[in-house]
Amino acid sequence: MTTSGPKKCDSPSCPKPADSAPATLLLCSRCRTTRYCSQACQAASWPAHKKQCRRQNYIIKFRLVPDDISDPPTAFGWATTHSFDFAVKDPAYTPRADLLAYMQKIRQFHDLNSGPGGGGTDGGGTDSGGMNPVSASREYLLRVTDPVPQNRFSGIDRMHEGKQIVYTYHFGDNWEHTLTVEGHGDFTDHFVCLSWTGHPVAKDVGGVQGWKDLKAAYRTAQPTTEQRERREWFEKRARNADPRGLADDRVNAWDMAQVNRNLVDISDRFDRLAEQVASEKDKLREQIMARSGQDISRMWKD
C-alpha cells in the first residue's frame, strides 16, 4: 500500500534527507501508519518496529434482518443460549424455486447411492452422475458453527450444523445479521461498539413477526389480553427481560456502556481460553516426552 505527500521515511536508518524523500511512500501493511521510502528501509526498521506494530481494527456494521425490519434493532443483547454461526454467502447461489422437486431429487440421489448395489464409488447400481444435489449449489462458501451444550432447544439448532458475511443466531428464529466492513480504526485489544440503533430483540420472541407483535403490544393504548401477556412475558420472564418494557421511546433504549463492558469480558474470556489451551498443550507435550523417555529406557534395559 502506498501514500502520497511530502512525508519523510520513518526508518531511523534511512540515508535520504527529508527533502529528497519520494512523493509516494510505502505504508506498513499491518499498522498502516508507518511509512517507508523503500523495501530496504522497511526491512531494516522491522526488528524495532515490530515491537509496537499493531494491526488496525476492522470497523464492521451489523444490521439485524434488514430486509424484514424497517427500524432495525441493536444487534447485541442475546442471552447466548442457542447456537450461532458466521458464514460467507456464495454470490452465485440462487434458492430453489420448487422446494418439493428439490427434496425429491435429494431422495432419488440417496436411493441410488446407498445400500447394496448402490452407485457412487462402490460401483454397481445406477450411477447418478456423482452430483449431490445438496452441494450442487452451495449457499455458503464458508460456514463456522458454534453449538451450545445439549438442552431441550438444541435439537432445532443441530439440524443446521454442518461476498456477504452473515451472522445467524438461534436457528429456530433465524436471526440473521448482515456484516459490512466499513473501514479500519485504531488498534484496541478488545472489541468496541461505536454506535447503535434500537432496543435489543427479546430472546425467543418468535422471530421477526414475534418482535413486531411485541412492539405493537406496547404501542396500543388498549391492549388485548394476548398483548398484555406479551408485555408481562417480556418484562418478567424473557431470558433477556427488560422490566421497563418498550413503551414510548423505550423501543430505542440501549446501554452502549454496558455492551462495551460485556465486550471487554468476552475478550478477556477468549484470552483465558487461549491460555488454557496453551497450558493443556504443554502438559500433553510433557506427558508424551515423559512416556517416550520411559519407553526408551525400557528398550535399553531389554
Q: Specify whether 22 is located in the same domain as 167.
A: no
pLDDT at 4 over 80: no
Q: Specify whether 172 is located in the same domain as 64.
A: yes
Kindly state whether residue 234 falls inside one of the protein's structural domains.
yes
Q: Specify whether 157 is located in the same domain as 72.
A: yes
Q: Which of 18, 21, 23 is nearest to 3 (CA)?
A: 23
Q: Specify whether 20 is located in the same domain as 154.
A: no
Q: Say if CB 231 and CB 205 are below 8 A apart.
A: no
Q: Which of 213, 185, 191, 211 is nearest to 64 (CA)?
A: 211
Q: Specify whether 85 is located in the same domain as 217.
A: yes
- Over residues 272-298, the mean pLDDT reads 78
CA–CA separation, 71 and 50 (whole Å): 44
Q: Specify whether 209 is located in the same domain as 161.
A: yes
pLDDT of amino acid 21: 59
Average pLDDT value over all residues in the chain:
75
Kindly state whether residue 25 falls inside one of the protein's structural domains.
yes
**Residue with C-alpha cell 501508519?**
33
Q: What percent of the chain has pLDDT over 70?
A: 66
Summarised one tens digit per residue, pLDDT across range 30-40 is 888 888 988 88
Kindly state whether residue 102 falls inside one of the protein's structural domains.
no
Kindly state whether residue 106 falls inside one of the protein's structural domains.
no
pLDDT of amino acid 209: 92
Q: Specify whether 188 is located in the same domain as 272.
A: no
Size of the chain, expressed as the number of residues it contains: 302
Number of domains within the chain: 3
Kindly state whether residue 149 falls inside one of the protein's structural domains.
yes
CA–CA separation, 259 and 195 (whole Å): 11
pLDDT of amino acid 126: 39
pLDDT of amino acid 118: 43
Q: Specify whether 178 is located in the same domain as 231.
A: yes
Q: Specify whether 196 is located in the same domain as 236.
A: yes
pLDDT at 93 over 90: no
Q: Specify whether 33 is located in the same domain as 63.
A: no
Summarised one tens digit per residue, pLDDT across range 22-81 is 667 888 888 888 889 888 898 999 999 988 888 888 888 888 877 777 665 666 667 667
pLDDT of amino acid 110: 53
| Residue range of the domain that includes 82 | 57-90+138-254
Kindly state whether residue 177 falls inside one of the protein's structural domains.
yes
Kindly state whether residue 105 falls inside one of the protein's structural domains.
no
Kindly state whether residue 96 falls inside one of the protein's structural domains.
no
Q: Specify whether 194 is located in the same domain as 286.
A: no
Summarised one tens digit per residue, pLDDT across range 162-171 is 467 888 888 7
Q: Specify whether 66 is located in the same domain as 171.
A: yes
